[in-house]
């Protein structure tokens, strides 16, 4: 089976490629624009595989994508601008990648009669004070990032209805694990704690997310690719709701660092209080189950970063910035 992965130099995409290549019957082409979240080092362990091919390019490039999709059996679209802070500062790149890019792939796979998996997010449902979203919950995005992901889903649904496009949508909660972009909460906390720098927490640190280990997410996407029903969407969650302050304290405890490193800073505009999704459908229909507990996954993640000192030493100004959405140069 020949699979085209977009955004495969990023956090989740690279973990997915490594997982798929363990199957010797799978060949992968990775199209990535090599933007700020991309890192070839993420795939250093498989870069010489004769079943892996890298193509630099943007998913909005119709000619490029037509050529690459013609050579594959299916496309898994991980490519996206995904950092909410950056979408607040400048939403335009998010419109181009998350809407225009997804549409380019969608239109081509429809004409070429290929399968597509669109990797979306729980953020399309917006903040939920008490409820838990299922696949029928209405969209209510709060950030420019979430709005672009919701727009892509609506485009896909229109193509499924109008043209019977073979597309499966997955939505996942917050991922963590090896190879994550350093501006995200967990790797940022690990890096700053390792250097005994102050760790900024937005607001009071009470915002709640459902955290899932990246390898468990990749298992779910693989199941959706191979066995997901065309036109369906599947929510993926770990039923592991934890607030940001608790997460930072857990990391500090594992790393034997003092809680005095915590520094509360101004909250981000439009910061959703809580996300929550049910993964009952994908569990019942496809047999997916979470394998990694939060405690186990967090310890594995911290150890991975500590075992890769070159990553810990490569700190950008954005990682150090306690309120990065304010900086127009990020």
Q: Catalytic: 134?
A: no
Distance CA 183, CA 324 (A): 9
Q: Catalytic: 39?
A: no
3-state secondary structure of 192: helix
Strand-pair partners of 169: 118, 233
Distance CA 134, CA 27 (A): 33
Which is the catalytic residue, given 27, 32, 39, 123?
123
Q: Catalytic: 145?
A: yes
* 8 A C-beta contact, residue 176 and residue 213: yes
**How many other C-beta atoms lie within 10 A of the C-beta of residue 242?**
16
The CA dihedral of 45, 57, 141, 272, to the nearest 10 degrees, is 40
| Nearest by Cα to 80 from 9, 165, 142, 3 | 9
| Consecutive H or E run containing 145 | helix 144-163
3-state secondary structure of 14: helix
What Å distances lie between residue 137 and 154, 161, 173, 198, CA to CA? 14, 19, 15, 39
* 8 A C-beta contact, residue 27 and residue 4: no
Which is the catalytic residue, given 27, 32, 85, 122?
122
b/e string for 260-294 if b means 16 or more Cβ within 10 A?
ebbeeeeebebbbebbbbbbebbbeebebebebeb
| Consecutive H or E run containing 254 | helix 244-254
Which is the catalytic residue, given 32, 39, 85, 145?
145
Q: What residues are annotated to the active site? A: 122-123, 145
């Amino acid at each position: 089976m020949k699979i085209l992965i977009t955004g495969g130099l990023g956090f989740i995409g690279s973990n997915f490629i490594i997982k798929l290549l363990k199957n010797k019957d799978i060949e992968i082409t990775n199209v990535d624009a090599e933007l700020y979240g991309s890192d070839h080092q993420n795939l250093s362990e498989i870069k010489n595989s004769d079943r892996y091919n890298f193509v630099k390019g943007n998913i909005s490039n119709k000619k490029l994508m037509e050529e690459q999709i013609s050579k594959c059996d299916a496309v898994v679209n991980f490519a996206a601008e995904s950092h909410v802070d950056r979408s607040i500062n400048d939403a335009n790149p998010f419109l181009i990648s998350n809407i225009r890019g997804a549409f380019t792939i969608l239109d081509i796979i429809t004409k070429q009669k290929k399968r597509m998996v669109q990797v979306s997010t729980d953020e399309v449902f917006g903040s939920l004070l008490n409820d838990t979203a299922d696949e029928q919950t209405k969209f209510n995005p709060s950030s420019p990032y979430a709005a672009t992901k919701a727009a892509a889903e609506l485009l896909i649904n229109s193509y499924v209805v109008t043209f019977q496009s073979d597309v499966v949508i997955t939505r996942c909660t917050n991922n963590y694990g090896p190879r994550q972009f350093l501006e995200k909460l967990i790797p940022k906390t690990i890096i700053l704690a390792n250097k005994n720098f102050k760790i900024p927490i937005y607001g009071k640190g009470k915002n709640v997310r459902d955290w899932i280990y990246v390898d468990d997410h990749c298992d779910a996407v693989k199941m959706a690719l191979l066995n997901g029903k065309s036109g369906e969407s599947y929510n993926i969650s770990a039923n592991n709701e934890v607030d940001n302050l608790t997460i930072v304290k857990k990391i500090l405890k594992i790393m034997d660092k003092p809680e005095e490193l915590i520094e509360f800073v101004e909250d981000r505009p439009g910061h959703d209080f809580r996300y929550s999704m049910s993964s009952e459908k994908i569990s019942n229909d496809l047999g997916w189950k979470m394998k990694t507990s939060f405690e186990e996954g967090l310890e594995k993640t911290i150890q991975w970063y500590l075992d890769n000192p070159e990553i810990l030493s490569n700190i950008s100004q954005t990682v150090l910035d306690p309120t990065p959405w304010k900086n127009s140069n990020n």
